Structure 1
Amino acid sequence: MTPTQDKVTYGRLIGASLGPGDPGLITRRAWEALHSGARWIYPVKKAEERSYALDIVCRAGLELPADIEPLVFPMTRDATILAKAWARAAARTLELLAEGRDLVFLVEGDASTFATFSHLARAVREITPEVEVETIAGVSSFSAAAACVGKALAEEDETIAVIPAAYGISVIDHLLDEFDTLILMKVKPLVDEIIELLEQRDLLATSCFIERVGAPDQRVVTDLASLKGQCVNYLSLMLVQNPKRARGELRRGCRKRKEAVA
């Protein structure tokens, strides 16, 4: 840096978790960030598309700032397209932060759980490490879903696993024997296959499907067989509990081994 150059003072990049759909689940800390005077940015899959995260703050009754801006993160597995999109998003984010003003990135659900924000923050800091990043924790879709249907995800020594359904039926089948509760995220592409597996395992009665939890068009389905052949929303998940598994088996086994060593 030459003597005539001024050092850039970057604003903070803030990931504001908004919860999965119900504006009542926006935390006080996220609410304060939204009212802090920071500029807002939000993710979309393609230009001119409506943002689910933006819908949440609209339902909360907040007025959208005039300078709010979308960032495009395309839904594709093409590595070249993704790399270019992430580079553009990180570069634009840095341009805005270089104005010295804090930047609030609107995040549906929780910013640390299957969220775009962590990837964006990492990409930004790889370019400019001095950028300060704050992540505001929020309510995850699966915890809200469990509360919605009155299910406990885990009690005492029970275990839970959270996985994208895209890992495949064989992995899901294996994990049903390893965990008391299985949370399957993004089930849209494999709904029929998952239902067939649960039928084979006699687990339909202890499983449920939740779509767009907390949103006005939320849908809860306990008769999973009725979903066969249906096109479901991307924002959907399944909660699967296996009562046939020895509850808390892993923890009890660890305790016994510890006692034997002692």
Structure 2
Amino acid sequence: MSRLIGVGVGPGDPELVTVKGVRVLREADVVVVPVMETGERGRAEATVLHYVPADNVVRIVFALNERTDRARREAAWDAAGARVAALLGESDSVAFATIGDPNVYSTFTYLAQTIGELLPGTVVETVPGITAMQDLAARSGAVLTEGTEPLTLVPVTAGAAVLKDALAGPGTVVAYKFGRLAAEVATALRETGRTDGAVWGSALGLPGESIRRASELVETGGPEDGPEGGPTAAPLPYLSTLIAPARRDGGRGGKL
């Protein structure tokens, strides 16, 4: 019986792939990496090539950024699923490399569902990976949780209102995929009083890495800077991550 294994390869730094992840990638008959239609090398592929020979890597196109045309997105998923199903028919094990973790906003979820329909009985497994929020927390010194604090993870692609609701609540809030909505994120932070202490990062572990205070997302100026002189934000990479730590004023162990 063939196995499809989703392997989390972290946010970009090849040193953050787990020992188990490296072993599974090397033991797999084939390693699939997702690419966009434009064909450029993505983070998952670049990371995998540190550990696996290029001859054992198969690039498959996914509509990774397609959100407006559902029919086109579904067609791309179907085509990718059919390609992976063919590989499974020829192999005992196929690993699919995904940035971050395969169970956190990963393309692997859709692939696994498709394979379950095309090849019932295929064993589906996952190997966890380091997430962008963990990497950003480590690099910036931001503490994600203490004591009884909740942790809320929000994809800003769901809308800035979802983020604002989360920021209005308790605990730490992490926002993913907010690069295109940086101005809205800056506004939500300001209106909820969560700008201080918040940090954002992009291209973590890569040559173009940027880690900054969230206050740098906002520039207050004249009417030319934004609507009625409000906050503006420079465009950021799509895969940007924000951490807005919980409000902590109780001293050490104050949230226990």
**TM-score normalised by the chain length of structure 2:** 0.85
CA-to-partner distance for each residue in 1:133-161, whole Å, 9 max, x for gaps? Answer: 11001111111111111111111100110
Q: Distance in 2 between matches of 1:197 and 1:94?
A: 43
CA shift, 1:173, in A, is: 2.0
Matched-pair identity in %:
26
CA shift, 1:37, in A, is: 4.7
Pairing 1:1-262 to 2, within 5 Å after superposition: 10-58=1-49, 60=50, 62-74=51-63, 75-77=65-67, 78-226=69-217, 228-243=232-247
CA shift, 1:194, in A, is: 1.4
Aligned residues: 238
SS in 1 for 2:54: coil
Conserved? CA contact 2:29–2:56, under 8 Å: no
CA-to-partner distance for each residue in 1:14-47, whole Å, 9 max, x for gaps? Answer: 1111111111111111110122152111001215
**TM-score normalised by the chain length of structure 1:** 0.83
Q: Distance in 2 between matches of 1:208 and 1:20?
A: 17
CA shift, 1:11, in A, is: 2.5
Structure 1 outlier segments of 4+, above 4 Å: 244-247
Equivalent residue letter for 1:69 = V
Q: Distance in 1 between matches of 2:59 and 2:105?
A: 19
Q: Distance in 1 between matches of 2:19 and 2:4?
A: 18
Q: Distance in 1 between matches of 2:250 and 2:113?
A: 40
- Structure 2 residues without counterparts, runs of 5 or longer: 219-231
**Which residue number in structure 2 is paired with residue 5 of structure 1?**
none
Conserved? CA contact 2:173–2:245, under 8 Å: yes
CA shift, 1:203, in A, is: 2.2
Aligned-residue RMSD, C-alpha: 2.2
Conserved? CA contact 2:28–2:95, under 8 Å: no
- Structure 1 residues without counterparts, runs of 5 or longer: 1-9, 253-262
